[in-house]
Structure 1
Amino acid sequence: MQVSHSKEIANFHIVGINYKKTDAAIRGLYAINQAQYQELLEHARTVQLDDLFVLSTCNRTEIYGFAPSPRDLMELLCRKSQGTMLQLEEMAYIKSGEDAIRHLYQVGTGLDSQILGDYEIIGQIRNAAKFSKAKQCLGGFLERLVNSVLQVSKLIKTETGLSKGTVSVAFATVRMLERICPDIRNKKIVLLGVGKIGRNTCKNMIEYLGVKQITLINRTMQVAQDFAGQHGLRFAPIEDMVPEMRAADVILVASNAPQPTVLAPHLADSGPKLVIDLSIPFNVAAAVGELPEVSLVNVDELSKVQDETLQNRLGEVPKALGIIEEHMAEFLYWYKMRKHAVVLKAVKDKLHEIHMREIQQQKNGNDYKMEDVEQVSSRIIQKMINLMAGKVRKETEKSDLYIAMINDIFETGVKQD
């Protein structure tokens, strides 16, 4: 892997796959868990890629960072995920420079989400960047950019209606249950996995559907027990997962296993069931959906559940885009000024070096006289002129440009043809 690259915006890339072109099964191949994320960052440092972060959610996996080529980021992603380079080259989208910056703003504000205005994504970006920073893989450019995106996301949430109303995968689950299970209050429900998505889905079912026959199962039983106690629900140990699922009418799977935990033999000949898989990668084997009395729904199908709220949000998109463009322009101005500051400091250091060298030569251990100071100043000026003239002579094709710039910078008043 080539490692020499500059931190010019042209070398800032994003490579990703999302719900627009890939289904949940393919996205699952490129999903990155925390352990894989740490390994990816550790390897990145060994090849001198040290300003990047990875965003991995149920709807997308994206890697942002500076690299000689987007392919370097693709190789990093494939190295630690289950996906292949060949498939990623076919399915991925690649953006560079200002397009990559704009993409992050749109992702962070929910404009690029499968459910328009999804506000959870910004927390996932914050956590992904925070993790990269803790591993010394988030540079000043990306940290500043992420902070700007966080600010813009908050501004859009408060000044537009883009995130108003209740629309999420968890709420879409409730709407689906409401439509296909009108007697849901009388159904036995098992929730496997009491992480964030599982808890949100459970709370929505209690609040909007009034269900109480929910049994919680989690690999760490204390988590299930605590949540069950807070909401008056039942819980069971992971060892009882199969008999609990077989006795249920509705099974919600929101676990975070790297491979399916609910298999066809677990539910074979156990009666009619609705199984909803909220996990990426899938935690319910595809064969479960082939069982004669089982209906299997995954996150892609859930996200098709439309709500009138989404139509209202569409009208807020132009306002949100305007806010993004305004703050993106401020970020780019900061970046340009930062580049100038580096150059100006280097010029200052160069002038200081010439100044000190001339002073030292003039002193020779003797006291100063005014004419000595004048001679030193004259020599410093002449050395700077010699530096500029030497550059102009050397770069003949750019000589006119250099002279014009010098003329403009020092405001000489000399008119050039």
Structure 2
Amino acid sequence: MEDLKSATDFWVIGINYRKADTTLRGAYAVNEHQYEAILDSAKVFGVSSLFVLSTCNRTELYGFAEQADQLTGLLCRHTEGSAEAFTAQAYIKKGNEALNHIFNVAAGLDSQILGDYEIVGQIKQAFYFARDRGYTNSFLDRLFNTVLQSCRAIRSETKLSSGTVSVAFAAVQFIRNRIDSFDHKRILILGSGEIGQAACRNLLTFAGKDQVTLINRTEGKAQALAEELGLHTAPFEMLRQYIRECDIIIVATAAATPLITVADLAEGDEKILIDLSIPNNIDAAVQQYKGIVLANVDDLSRINDETLRKRQAEIPKAEELITCHIHEFAEWYLMQQHVPVLKAVKEKLHALNMQLAEARQQDDKQAVQKALNTMAKKMRTEEQRPGCNYIETIHHYLKQTVA
């Protein structure tokens, strides 16, 4: 598997919001424990280097293998869904197509809400998780850095992510469209991860700090965010009480099963429930009560405002910047293929200089580097084969040295 490092062995397999609803996406969502298990068993499936991206909109596995079904088998081995159901809704991309895909995903061009910049942080977290455990290679490391450069360029040179449109923002907009005012509304935020934090900040634009209570399984995380934003917190053990008392509840957790079910509500309750989790953490059956309004991430993605229309106009500019960065990565990749030849030439030139040392008393480093630079330049700009460059460089160097 050490040979699985070329672009032709690079794959991405995944499902996203385009063909898979929240229920299906939830079956292939990957939590931290599952991610560890995927990495640990990668070699058993013939996967040499990889990282996994799992968000509310998608689950994707980027890695090196001989066949795509090796990656599919690895993912499905450690998630709830079957390989058959996954394959029926999945996209499979290889080589250049896979490279183009990751650039588009990171830029927000493939997001459920166009230009959603939260995906960049999610990709960073996913990549660092695999890299820190030794499951990436030089190809993935360089690719990741180039993708980040592309994102920064798009962020600074276009308005693709301008304005405030994200899943968390859409959640607040959804609520505003269904109530006259936030006055006297009690609000519960369940979860203090990235999306939960974003939801808190968006809510505080319209609601008072004393109206919002934050609950998280890990109380330390909830307290840190609460102190930063001036919010109330409550222990997880009091969740049922706050579900009964609050008018608006936003759930953004990574629980494997629903945290709010029919048993937590009653006929006559009037509440707005927002589920920003994948898999869903609010049981859809709660909608049997007439006073309950429930929305998940797919419902929220249907917002259509002036900000999104402006973002649409920025797509061509973003695609141009992506093309430039893909070319930059391709140039680096192609030069890596010549490294063994350049190394061999360097070793041969130094050996020749050792043999000629008695005939000439001068430092050979500058002459050797000049010859290498000339060869590298030719290999970038000409279609001549590496072997021909090798012979030509040695011959030219000997001619100059003897002269």
Matching of residues 337-416 of structure 1 within 5 Å: 337-346=335-344, 406=388, 410=392
Q: Can you list the C-alpha shifts for 1:54-74, whole angstroms capped at 9, x where unaligned? A: 111111111111110111111
| Equivalent residues of 1:5, 1:67 under 8 A apart | no
Q: Give the TM-score taking structure 1 as reference length.
A: 0.81
User: For residues 39 and 390 of structure 2, what CA distance do their matches in structure 1 show?
Assistant: 46
Which residue in the other structure is 1:173 paired with?
171
Q: Which moved more, 1:149-158 or 1:254-263?
A: 254-263
Alignment partner of 2:161: what SS?
A: coil
Which residue in the other structure is 1:262 paired with?
260
Which residue in the other structure is 1:206 paired with?
204
Which residue in the other structure is 1:114 paired with?
112
Alignment partner of 1:15: what SS?
A: strand
Which residue in the other structure is 1:123 paired with?
121
AA aligned to 1:197 is: I
Q: Can you list the C-alpha shifts for 1:105-151, whole angstroms capped at 9, x where unaligned? A: 11111111111111111121122111111111100001000100001
Q: Which moved more, 1:138-147 or 1:260-269?
A: 260-269
User: For residues 3 and 284 of structure 2, what CA distance do their matches in structure 1 show?
Assistant: 44
User: For residues 229 and 333 of structure 2, what CA distance do their matches in structure 1 show?
Assistant: 50
| Equivalent residues of 1:13, 1:66 under 8 A apart | yes
Q: Which moved more, 1:39-48 or 1:9-18?
A: 39-48
User: For residues 234 and 136 of structure 1, what CA distance do their matches in structure 2 show?
Assistant: 40
Q: Can you list the C-alpha shifts for 1:339-388, whole angstroms capped at 9, x where unaligned? A: 01124435666x69998xxx9xxxxxxxxx99xxxxxxxxxxxxxxxxxx
User: For residues 209 and 304 of structure 2, what CA distance do their matches in structure 1 show?
Assistant: 22
AA aligned to 1:31 is: A
AA aligned to 2:256 is: P
> Which of 16, 21, 24 is equivalent to 2:22?
24
Q: Can you list the C-alpha shifts for 1:167-213, whole angstroms capped at 9, x where unaligned? A: 11111111111111122222222222222212211121111455742
- The Cα of 1:92 is off from its aligned counterpart by 0.5
> Which of 36, 51, 73 is equivalent to 1:38?
36
Which residue in the other structure is 2:328 paired with?
330
User: For residues 216 and 293 of structure 1, what CA distance do their matches in structure 2 show?
Assistant: 23
> Which of 293, 299, 302 is equivalent to 1:301?
299
Which residue in the other structure is 2:288 paired with?
290
User: For residues 219 and 338 of structure 2, what CA distance do their matches in structure 1 show?
Assistant: 57
Q: How many residue pairs are counted as aligned between the two chains?
A: 368
| Equivalent residues of 1:5, 1:11 under 8 A apart | no
Which residue in the other structure is 1:83 paired with?
81
| Equivalent residues of 1:185, 1:212 under 8 A apart | no
User: For residues 324 and 268 of structure 1, what CA distance do their matches in structure 2 show?
Assistant: 51
Q: Give the TM-score taking structure 2 as reference length.
A: 0.84
User: For residues 156 and 197 of structure 2, what CA distance do their matches in structure 1 show?
Assistant: 26
> Which of 309, 312, 317 is equivalent to 1:311?
309
User: For residues 128 and 221 of structure 2, what CA distance do their matches in structure 1 show?
Assistant: 25
User: For residues 329 and 133 of structure 1, what CA distance do their matches in structure 2 show?
Assistant: 24
Q: Show structure 2 runs of 5+ residues with no match.
A: 360-383, 396-403
| Equivalent residues of 2:168, 2:202 under 8 A apart | yes
Alignment partner of 1:167: what SS?
A: coil
Call closer, same or farther: CA 1:260–1:154 in 2, change over 3 Å.
same
User: For residues 230 and 6 of structure 1, what CA distance do their matches in structure 2 show?
Assistant: 46
| Equivalent residues of 1:45, 1:137 under 8 A apart | no
AA aligned to 2:312 is: L
- Identical residues among aligned pairs (%): 44
Which residue in the other structure is 1:59 paired with?
57
Matching of residues 240-255 of structure 1 within 5 Å: 240-255=238-253
User: For residues 164 and 140 of structure 2, what CA distance do their matches in structure 1 show?
Assistant: 31
| Equivalent residues of 1:256, 1:279 under 8 A apart | yes
| Equivalent residues of 2:46, 2:70 under 8 A apart | no
User: For residues 330 and 232 of structure 1, what CA distance do their matches in structure 2 show?
Assistant: 45
- Could you say which structure has the larger radius of gyration? 1
User: For residues 223 and 25 of structure 2, what CA distance do their matches in structure 1 show?
Assistant: 32
Which residue in the other structure is 2:377 paired with?
none
AA aligned to 2:336 is: R
Q: Show structure 1 runs of 5+ residues with no match.
A: 360-368, 371-401, 413-417
User: For residues 228 and 4 of structure 1, what CA distance do their matches in structure 2 show?
Assistant: 48
AA aligned to 1:292 is: K
Call closer, same or farther: CA 1:229–1:142 in 2, change over 3 Å.
closer
User: For residues 303 and 409 of structure 1, what CA distance do their matches in structure 2 show?
Assistant: 60
User: For residues 144 and 178 of structure 1, what CA distance do their matches in structure 2 show?
Assistant: 43
Q: Can you list the C-alpha shifts for 1:27-66, whole angstroms capped at 9, x where unaligned? A: 1111111111111111113455232111111111111111
Alignment partner of 1:301: what SS?
A: helix
